[in-house]
Structure 1
Amino acid sequence: MDVSTDNAAGLEQPEAPFWLCSPGYSIIVSRSPLMALWLEAQVNALAGFDPEDPVLDNGPLCAYPMPPLGDEAIDQPLARQVENLNWFGHPIFWLKGDILHAHPFPVEEDEEPRDEFDSEIYLRLALQLEVLGFYDSTTGAWHDVAKNLGVDINDPFDVARIRAWQSGEPDEQFDTFDFGEIVKFNYPIHAATAVAADLLPYALIASGAVGAYSLVTEIDKALDSRTAGVISNYAILVSALGMSYSGFLMTEEQYARWEKRMERITALFNRSTILPAKTASAYLLEMREVLNYVVTDNEDVVDDAVNVIKSLQKDLAGQLR
């Protein structure tokens, strides 16, 4: 199917691959912690990375896995390690160096100057890729970098060339191509971080509250299943995801209670792969109560936050095209 799209950088894209995304899915701010976790595992596995040592990671402010960031940023594109060549042209595998590093983050006058935190780099990258059209949330399609390189992964000659480069042989075109520079040229880092700073409070509320709602739904499904293994696994998953996605929206008392219960349930899980159904169910019900508070206490601002995010995206896309 030909899904031709244009992007703000004006790069030719005759056919757009989807790489696990679907129409209407935005990579700016995660709507579902479990979906983000699934995507992280799937993209790592399908690209051919070791599932025991995943290379890509994501967070609450970016709904798609990205390469190592900040101090762990890489100087060589991950395309050099991609085993499954169907993923060779994915933009995230051609990001390297400067664009992945932390850059000065706008702060108030009375605050100490600082660089971006990793979560803010995630937000900035997602913003750059989506606003420029390298990912199109309307269609769910990604830009295919292989097309820019003139590479056909179905051509035996091109496949041999890619494999030779991946094994360490020099290739002038692959070695000098820097997709991050194209992104930066069309949407400079300082401009993207300024927008990310404006977006941050809204993005945090949206990811925390919507993530909490998603987890409440998943808890209900787990409890309805009445299967000890399912309930046990969800107790562990939800405890960690709830804290990382929604913990900042909890009261101090709720957070402390959650942390204490999480330590207890993790200790129990470490002694047995399946928790007693009664224990896990009681824990899930308690977590549901806290998460439901997060949802109801923030429901008035979530719609505003989502609308602000969409409005910023639309305005920026119009300015950059």
Structure 2
Amino acid sequence: MDVIQIPHDTNRLVLHFDTALLQINAYALASSLVGLANAIKEANSIVNPGYAVEVVVERLEDGSFRATLKAVVKKAGNIFSHELSKAIIYGIIATWIYDQTLGADKEPIIIINDESVEIRSGERIIIVPREVYDAKKEVERSERFQSSMSQVFNGALKDPAVTGLKITPPGEWPGLPSVPREQFVLIASRYEADDANAIYEDAVLEISRAIMSRGRRKWEFYWRGVKISAPVLDHAFYEAFSAHDITIAPGDMLRVVLKIYRKTDPESGIHVNTKYEVVEVQNHIPREVQGSFETSA
């Protein structure tokens, strides 16, 4: 029986593309890397509130084609946490992938212990730290996480030479199986959102009207000289506000990840923005320090 142990602490992930070639389609690589980076950022915002994460590609390797990514976690400016950040993002992503693939034919057996969770399917047992499993259940409720992971597999589909894909910690992990290509579409389509043309963009928004109750009521902002309306969906931001770690006033700015929904004009082929959502608040910039912010940008 194969026993796979998911590690608890690591801040590096290796994305493996199974291919016989020493090259990979650039669009496949870029799309999968962007999807994985967005999934890491979303998972981090949920399990490490008050900490921002930068995802960098450290190196590319042959063999199966591999990209090593490092998540650099640091306190997020004016929004802060009193707790240390947890290096459990790899475990969350790996456990999510196993959940998707192990349950394809038959519902796996879940055994919950005090310190770990066993996921049993056929001749395979996945042992996951309890903290990682509980965090995974919280993260997988995020639409952004689901659609970002979907993009990882959608991207791999762009290269017909890729026969499998897996995400491991650094080093050699011969027991960790790849997801076969025939399951790429299944995973990708399962979480394919209606907003297929939506994009995520780092943005600095000036607050015109704030809504300090949780929900989907829309704030008003100025962005690039244009007034837009968008709900703020970052739970950590509201928790920081409730704890009086930050105060909000008109004219303050927020550095955010902005989700932009688009549709294509059938005549011109031009993408038109239809609505906006603030999915992550990375920094709060009070009005009185805006001058120094703009000088250093």
TM-score with structure 2 length normalisation?
Answer: 0.27
Structure with more strand by fraction? 2
TM-score with structure 1 length normalisation?
Answer: 0.26
Structure with more helix by fraction? 1
